[in-house]
Structures are given as structure tokens and as C-alpha cells.
Amino acid sequence: MAEVPPDPLIGKVLNGRFTVLEPLGVGGMGKVYKALQSPLDRMVALKVLNPKYSGTKDPGFERRFFLEAAMTAKLHHPNTITVHDYGRTDDGIYFIAMEYVEGETLQARLARDVTLPWPKALHIGGQIARSLREAHKAGMIHRDLKPANVMLLQDETDSEMVKVLDFGLVKSLLPDGPLSPTDTELTQAGVLLGSPLYMAPEQARNEADARSDIYALGVLLYQTIGGKPPFTGKESIDIIVKHIREKPAQLKSVVIELPVEVNALVMKCLEKEPANRFQSMDELLEGMRVAGANAGLSGAFSDPRSMVYRTPSSQAIKVVSQSMLMTPPDLTRAERPSGAVEVPWEDTGAVAQKKNGRKIAFAAAGAAIAVVLLLGGLLVLRKEPPLPPGPAPVAIKPPPPPKIARPVEPVGEAPPPPIAFVVSSSPAGASVTRSGIVLGVTPLSFTLPPGADRSASAELTLALEGYQSITLTAQGTGPEVVVKQTLAKLKRPTVKKNSHPPGYKDDPYQ
């Protein structure tokens, strides 16, 4: 067995400040090391990008790296990993120094426990949503939310605190001027497109906004509660096709005892059309609060910044008012109803007798009572014959409203839906060009409107360094046209040894 060569960065000091101590992990963009920052003596997680992501291979990379790193460093939410520093060394190493935390990722937790109770899943999901809310309001989307990018920590109250990682891979939503054909994504391997298991349908077309993160969070909640993501497959392209085409099974069919409110919350996040999902993290957080309250966990997911004060109902106000006005003065304080307020008995206008036997009378009230009694007696003594019954009232029905004839609108046939073209290659990473425009790299998908015959076609050119380029025509009636192409390696020309042109002689004098 061959020995693994030592890591050349271990022990190296980057930019005179960061001493690399040991590796912590490896990802698609590079490695993460534990490092000591001088002169602060602060432990940091140092992310060193893979050398293949350099300005020589992608001229726009360095500009985008520094722009997005500067924006990411402005995020300060408690549930977001803090970026301390970033830069480029003299020998061309790009790095990001982040907050060093000790805990375990949600991926490691699910690998051990498989599932979590839905209240804990919503508790974790709510913290993720608050982290992403700050990023979205700053004009950034994450696009790679997955359990491996969610760190779980224990805080002072023994409650798990979430830290969302890898904001260094965000895509900016802020306008940055026109892009050149080579100035597309950070990588040609599709890292920024997201992970297929958690990818929103529109991300496969390289169209993403804040609602794409809501879809990914819905997939994460589905897996955390149900034990697996809604879609799985052997190949990445198969999973992407399912995200675009198939409807996920109801989470309640996987977890029977799940409250219907929580099931509806997760399934709304997983809507295919972004317009049918929650439109912002604020909406999603309110949905979590309502679902938790309806399921019997009132206040468990409240956010102090989104709490609404609720006034007492009119019936409650009425009961309190009656208790305030009907408290007799001869009750002791212990006998009075809870919350009753003392009102001077004289203010009620009634006649009362105090315990000392002294009587207080109000002349006006007494005179009024006497007049009422006198008139009542006269009415009783006076006997008059009853009046003859009058004719019974006749109910007059109002005329019916006039009927308004409404024009009947012709019902036309709904336009056919667009046809999705799903393109993959072996090996992956081939650029796909249509009509002179680079659509991206495989695997990818795009849509075209159908023609009069309900079909669509596209002439595509697949190119990959070291392989023969191929141009093909994909056509079909949908709803999807799947294109799988195996690329052939370029054959290097062979030069025969001792081969000479005709008429060649070693000794021209012979």
C-alpha cells in the first residue's frame, strides 16, 4: 500500500498570521484546517480553496471571490458562522478564516440517530431560517444548504444552537454588471449549483433566488423528520429529474404520527413552483410558529422580532368591567372577586344602608321611584275595553332583482407546458452550447416552449477538454427529453520511429 504524502500546508504560516495545525475536513472547493491566528492566539477554521480554482483558469474568479467574501464577512447573525478574514497569499492560495466551533454536523447526527422528533427538527429549522433571513436581506442566497453545512452546538442552557456553514459559496443577488461568457460560476464542476439531493428544480436551470433556499430547507426538514430525503437515486441526473418532475410523497405517509400542520408546512416548502412556496424566511418562520402552536407547542418557535401583542377579547373585557362595577361595599377585601376595583358606593346613584344603621337617601332618586309607582297604580285601577283587533299585516315581498345576462366566455384550450431538456454526459462537466450560447455544464436542464405539433427540438454541442466534441439534435414531446451522451477520448497521433519521407537516404553520397 502506497504511503500518503504529507500535507504540504501543515505547519505553514499563511500571510504571516495563520499557522496551519491540522486538517478538519475536505470538500468540493478545498480543505478546511484548524489554524492559530497571530497575534490574537485565536483558533480559526481556515478554508483553503483548491488550486484549480484560480484566476489563470477562470479570469473572473478572483473578482467574484473577493466580492462575495467581503459580503459574507458582513453577516453577524448568531446562527451564522463568522468570517474573520480572507485573502490570497503571495503564492496564489485563496483562503477564508472562519469562526472555529466544536460540535457535530447535522449530517453526523442523522447518520447516528437517523431521525429527530419533529419539535427538535423545527427548532433547528427555525434557527437556520433566521440565519438565511439575514443573508437574503443582505442580497445573498446560500444555494448549498444541506446537513453537512449545519453545525449543532451545545450552549449554556444545554439547548442545541445552530451554526450555518459555507456562506463562502453563496451567490450574490446584487447587480454586478454584465458577465462575460467565461465569467459564469465559481467552478466548472457545478459546486455552486448545489447538491442534487437538496437542489430546487429551478437550480438545475441555473435560476435561483431566496425561495430556492426555502426548498432546500424543506428537503432538510423532510429528511430530519422522515429519515431520508424525498428523492434519491444512483446518479445525480436521476435525482435532478425527480426534483423537476415527480411529486414527493407526503411526509405524514412516512411518519404517521406527524401533526397535519407540520406536514403541510414541509410540503409547502417543497412545491415545484417557487410562487407556491413560502415567499420569504419571515413567512416560513411565521408558518413554523403557527404549526407549532396548532400542534400544542405554543410559543416554542416564537422569534422576539416577530412576536405580535394580542389584546384581550371583548368578552374578557366585558367580564372584567362587570366585576369592577358590581362589587358591593359591604364585602370584605378577602370576599371580593379577584381583580375587582373599589368604586365609591355613592357614585352608583343607588340607596344604601351602612352597617352603623344610618340611612342615606337621594331626593331625586326617591321622587322618581314615587312617580313610577303612582303611574303604575293608576294604570292598574283604570279599566278600559280592549281595542278591537286590527287586520293582520300583509307581508310584501320585494321584487326579485333583475337578471343580468352575462356573456359566455369561450373556453380555450390551455397552452401546453414547456418541455424540459435534461442533459448529462459521461464523463460529466462537458460544456453545452445551443445557438452559440453556453448553457452550462453537464448535468443540466433547460426548458423550451413546444411548437404547433407539441414538440420541441434543440441542436446541442457538447465539448470537454481531452474528448471529441459532438453536435446532436434532441427532440421530443415531453414532458421531458432526456439526453445522455458518452464522449469519446481524443486519439493522440502516433509517430513511428525511424519513419522518413520517400527518397530519404542516410548517406546521400551512396
Which residues are known catalytic residues? 144
Surface-to-core class of residue 212, CB atoms within 10 Å of its CB (0-12 exposed, 13-18 middle, 19+ buried): buried
Distance from the Cα of residue 166 to its chain's centroid = 16
Distance from the Cα of residue 329 to its chain's centroid = 60
Q: Which amino acid is at 482?
A: V
Question: Could you give the CA distance from residue 152 to residue 112 in angstroms, rounded to a whole number?
Answer: 14
3-state secondary structure (DSSP) of residue 23:
strand
Contact present, 210 and 281 (Cβ < 8 Å): yes
The CA-atom distances, in angstroms, between 296 and each of 259, 288, 300 are 10, 12, 9
- Grid cell digits, residue 293: 402552536
Question: Could you give the CA distance from residue 170 to residue 152 in angstroms, rounded to a whole number?
Answer: 21
Burial profile 234-252: b = 16 or more Cβ within 10 angstroms, e = fewer: eebbbbbbbbbeeebebbb
Distance from the Cα of residue 377 to its chain's centroid = 79
Helix-then-strand count for the chain, H and E? 10, 18
Name the strand (E) or helix (H) holding 487. Answer: none
Place of cell 499563511: 14
Task: Specify which residues 8 forms β-bridges with.
Answer: none
Dihedral, CA of residue 249, residue 250, residue 252 and residue 256, to nearest 10: -40
Listed in sequence order, the residues at least 6 apart from 94 whose beta carbon sits closer than 8 Å to its beta carbon are: 48, 49, 53, 54, 62, 65, 86, 87, 88
Q: Which amino acid is at 424?
A: S
Rg of the chain over CA atoms, in angstroms? 38
Contact present, 105 and 67 (Cβ < 8 Å): no
Helices (H), 210-280: 210-226, 236-245, 251-254, 260-269
- Grid cell digits, residue 384: 278600559
